[in-house]
Structure 1
């Protein structure tokens, strides 16, 4: 059975992370994605280490399931080819700064005149409007301006540089996919295409959720280590005797009770339930001292059959081997085009009737030029 988006054709002009990750998700769900990339404008994800067979594993993951058209959009005749293609495509995704596609002669209004049903998604750092629309930025900047960084990390050390690109992926990529699919449903109902404006900063601001609600409607600004979920309680990470870490999320009474029993500190149960900062400091210190007495493996044995919201902090390689990840097919073997396969992260959405398929890893630049 083909994927749920098998009738969708996507023309992808994006580079680096946000756009390519979004269109990879669409490709996994069955969309026919053609990536347009300038031969003389290197996408850095092609050369980011580590490499396998001379190609970055980042590139082969982010661009799996897509065809590749090498095309310099500044060269004469390129705009004409794009105009020919767009007549047969449903979606355009681009990640240039506002106005660049217009200057290349293939902006939204131009392409809309050719294909009125076209859904055109532009992913940028700050959106198509506002005083920052032409400003450069990266994930760390979007999180900072959106207020996310202000309530993350520790009071003494400040906000941490995250290992996951939150604004790029949870913001840009995921919101782009949602916006595109919502526009597809609208078009099915009305026949009308539209422009989808995705700002990674907007999306990051929306990720504030409960902290945002508290600040805007409740007048209560969340600070680092100032709330239940950001270090203000015993809900935290604790170091083991072998310098590994254990995550403790035992907030509810039934879970905190089991936690204290498993750790051999039943006298701390009332402290776990208390809202008093002094009580919270006391249980944090008790957890810190107790958890430091055993290795991570020993604590894993202790909590293996204890339902208390306590789990080890695993590396990515360890997570890939975890029985839960294996059961969910979150590590897959993707054909590499040379008769072999490459291990990659699997698609996180599971469909009962139209399963996702990762058909092949990211292709060489211009691998499909002969088709056009």
Structure 2
């Protein structure tokens, strides 16, 4: 089967995570990616541990199926080379601060004069007209980078490719990671916009007010319980052998919900995680173990789906 994006050529000026993750997805779909790294400033991901055979595992992962060149964009000869290349490329992905590419004479308006079909994707923390107002959330994954920046950038880029097929015109896509992450708050944000009541901690069903939560097991592990729909809640209580708890789980009362959670904490802490996994394996009740990364990558589902693959060396295509 041919790769869907095999005809797409992308010039990638991005570093670290957001842009490289976006172009990784494009490369996996067959796009030809030429990554332009700085000749004087190393991409910090190259030094990110763990290092295997002298190569950062993260860097190898993010840059598989890509080609790479090193250029000093401050030099006129490097800028000239980019302008020469752009005539045969479809897409630029860059994540410099606003105005930097223009300072290099490589901004959208300059390059579209060479290639009117060019799709120009700029990924920044707050867009071309925004600025940083607050710090990042202390999460175990870069939600803004990956979901906010990379995936939205890829979706917008592909939409622009399709539009170009109809109009013949390229466009400049302004991706703000802050804007994109805000859209991830669809459920809670929609409620706030409707009633203007700010959902404080543990005052919404999705942030701890209801039984939708994590529960510790006897061996110090955790289970996620997410069956808020009636049919899942019914199956959940049946699996526990506690049909008497269903009325609490179905209640809109905050007191009933807290009573339900208290009961569940007592139930789950009495057995090890393996016991609960075996019990709920045969029940469609939205109960799953919280896995560490080692367990996740070895999970039969991800193995069967081919989500973990070996890549050679730095991940680049060598000729």
User: What is the TM-score of this pair, normalised by structure 2?
Assistant: 0.96
One of 253, 264, 267 as aligned partner of 2:230 = 253
Cα separation, 2, equivalents of 1:86 and 1:136? 35
Report matched runs for 1:176-187 at 5 Å.
Answer: 176-187=153-164
- Contact kept, 8 Å, 1:125 with 1:136, in 2: the verdict is no
The offset of 1:35, in angstroms, is 0.1
Q: How many residues align?
A: 319
Structure 2 CA distance for aligned equivalents of residues 293 and 167 of structure 1: 37
Q: CA separation in 2, counterparts of 1:250 and 1:136?
A: 36
Q: Which of residues 286, 292, 300 in structure 2 aligns to 1:323?
A: 300
Match of 1:214 in 2: 191
Cα shift at 1:102: 0.9
1:267 aligned to 2:220?
no
| CA deviation profile, 1:316-368 (whole Å, cap 9, x unmatched) | 2212222222222222233x05xxxxxxxxxxxxxxxxxxxxxxx5339xx77
Change (3 A) 1:164 1:241: same
Change (3 A) 1:17 1:245: same
User: Map of 1:106-145 to 2, 5 A cutoff?
Assistant: 106-130=106-130, 132=131, 135=132, 140=136
Q: Say if 2:42 is the partner of 1:42.
A: yes
In the TM superposition, residue 18 of structure 1 has moved relative to its aligned partner by 0.3
Alignment-derived partner of residue 151 in structure 1: none
Give the corresponding residue for 1:146: none
Q: Structure 2 CA distance, aligned partners of 1:277 and 1:90?
A: 54
Tell me how far apart the structure 2 counterparts of residues 310 and 212 of structure 1 sit (CA, whole Å): 26
Q: In structure 1, how many angstroms separate the alpha carbons of the residues matched to 2:229 and 2:194?
A: 26
Q: Counterpart of 1:217 in 2: which secondary structure?
A: helix
Q: Deviations over 1:181-224 (max 9, x none)?
A: 11111110010011000011111111111211111233232222
Secondary structure of 1:288's partner? helix
**Structure 1 residues 137, 217: CA separation in 2 closer, same or farther (over 3 Å shift)?**
closer
Q: Any conservation in 2 of the 1:211–1:221 contact (CA below 8 Å)? A: no
- 1:287 equivalent in alignment to 2:230: no
Q: Secondary structure at the match of 1:6?
A: coil
Do residues 65 (structure 1) and 65 (structure 2) align?
Answer: yes
Find 1:199's aligned residue among 176, 183, 194.
Answer: 176
- TM value normalised by structure 1: 0.82
Cα deviation digits, residues 22-80 of structure 1 (max 9, x gap): 00000000000000001211111000000111111110011111100111111230000
